[in-house]
Amino acid sequence: MEQDSNSFQTSQLGRLISRTAPPPKKRRRLESLSPTRLIVSSFLVVIVTGALLLMLPFATRNGITPVQAFFTATSATCVTGLVVLDTYQGFTTFGQTVVICLIQIGGLSLVTLASFFTLALRRRVGFRSMKLASESIGTSNVAEARGLLLVVMKLAAFFEGLGFLLLLPVFVPEYGAEGIFISIFLSISAFCNAGFDILGRTQSYVSLMGYASNWYVQGIIMFLIVAGGLGFLVWHDLGQWRKTHHLSIHTKVVLFCTILLIVGGTVGFAFLEWNNPDTLGGMSAGDKVVNSLFQSISARTAGFNTIDLASMGSITKCMLCVLMFIGAAPGGTGGGIKVTTFSVILVTVASVVTGREDAQIFRRRIDKKTVYQALSISMLSLGVVILVTLIVFFNCGELISPLDCLYEVVSAFGTVGCSVGVTGEMHAPALIITMVTMFIGRVGPVSLAISLASQRREQGKFDILPEGKISVG
């Protein structure tokens, strides 16, 4: 009976994802799919649905091409923020609503939302469905998935609601009743680390440049970005600290690395751009520090900007590429290879240099499988960035510099959305490959981690081979 119940619940989730009741053969095929493939498929379904909605005549002000519609839907669902049309000037209120819904679904994932509403309707969720939900929110503990699922939704509602209320005093006096929608849009976009805005009333692609001297708005947006980027597992662990007085190694690594990157990025950005007249040069000392902090945080997968990014120096762009590639924490709304992956790589290198046999962090030994996962994710991600950079530069080389091309590709892969103006100059082939890059950046590293962590041996055990010796270094 339990197995039948699980199969029934899995087929229910499959219908939620496909929106159609599949025939028996397709249903059995759906149930045989791995959770990773179902998660990836759910993102594809959302992207296609969003693109079709954006192509409706009343979704745009002056029309939209299929490539532009799919690019916008991909960028919103993958919470990236790269755009080919200004979100306000290009889309009507309906189109903007579609975009923010895609951001919300993409930030939390369709699987998480479907599982939550199944629980909210007090329907029984089978083991396989909870396994799918647990991998969607970034935990391998199926037993805790139900509780974490509720935590995810509560945290998202709390932070987005708080951001909305805090932004109202700024945008309602400035824009009237329309400021309510602006506050909702920016709050969801910031928490989901998407970087979309609807402030382009006087200038397209303006982002938050009009608030470069408004520390209040920048502070709220930074708070929401960090809240979404830390990951739901970290917030759950912090919420339990009063009871347990203990933080997991995962939480310690995320917090330590996040603080280190934010402070390092702020100092580096301020040092490199302090006297640049096109970025920080004309600001007061206080504004320079706050805007440096904002760009350091935003570069970690959010995509908002308060200064002209195209006017940054070459070294600054290189530094931000590193921050964008590293990204945020797993199990959150940010992208990149994740701070935990970066930390594992660093401590592994440190262990080799100091002659230790195992990688260690906070006086704990890291499992070799985790080290292999981190190395695989980093190398495959680096390979994707290099390959896509070459392809995009080949298509747009006469328009952009190699560094700007690399910056835009890293921004797409890290689901950041910070742009130096390259996306608007891309031809259709480059836009398509950038769409693929955003999709890989959103689901690729996570899917790779899941597939490596839950290795299947459907064809029997692996052969035990003799050891081979290779000289390196």
pLDDT grade for 43, boundaries at 50, 70 and 90: confident
What pLDDT score was predicted for residue 447?
A: 61
What pLDDT score was predicted for residue 466?
A: 81
Lowest-confidence range among 104-108, 291-295, 415-419? 104-108
Helix (H) or strand (E) holding 365: strand 364-365
What pLDDT score was predicted for residue 381?
A: 92
pLDDT tens-digit series, residues 283-324: 999 999 999 999 999 998 898 999 999 999 999 999 999 999
Of 112 and 398, the structure prediction assigns the larger pLDDT to 398
Among 32-41, 117-126, 403-412, name the most confident range.
Answer: 403-412
pLDDT grade for 325, boundaries at 50, 70 and 90: very high
Which residue in the block uniquely carries the two structure tokens 């470069």?
Answer: 212
Q: Is pLDDT of 70 > 50?
A: yes
What pLDDT score was predicted for residue 11?
A: 46
List all residues 6 or more positions away from 43 whose beta carbon is below 8 Å from its beta carbon: 77, 78, 106, 109, 110, 439, 442, 443
What pLDDT score was predicted for residue 119?
A: 47
DSSP for 263-302, written as a single string: HHHHHHHHHHHTT-TTTTTTS-HHHHHHHHHHHHHHTTTT
Q: Is pLDDT of 374 > 70?
A: yes
pLDDT grade for 335, boundaries at 50, 70 and 90: confident
Lowest-confidence range among 1-5, 41-45, 412-416, 462-466? 1-5
Q: How far apart are alpha carbons 87 and 99 in whole angstroms?
A: 8
Contact 168, 180 (CB under 8 A): yes
Question: How do the domains of the chain map onto residue ranges?
Answer: 34-453
Of 6 and 216, the structure prediction assigns the larger pLDDT to 216
DSSP for 129-143, written as a single string: HHHHHHHHTT-S-GG
What pLDDT score was predicted for residue 465?
A: 72
pLDDT tens-digit series, residues 133-166: 455 445 555 445 566 677 788 888 999 999 999 9
Q: How far apart are alpha carbons 11 and 468 in whole angstroms?
A: 46
What pLDDT score was predicted for residue 397?
A: 63
pLDDT grade for 443, boundaries at 50, 70 and 90: confident
What pLDDT score was predicted for residue 154?
A: 85
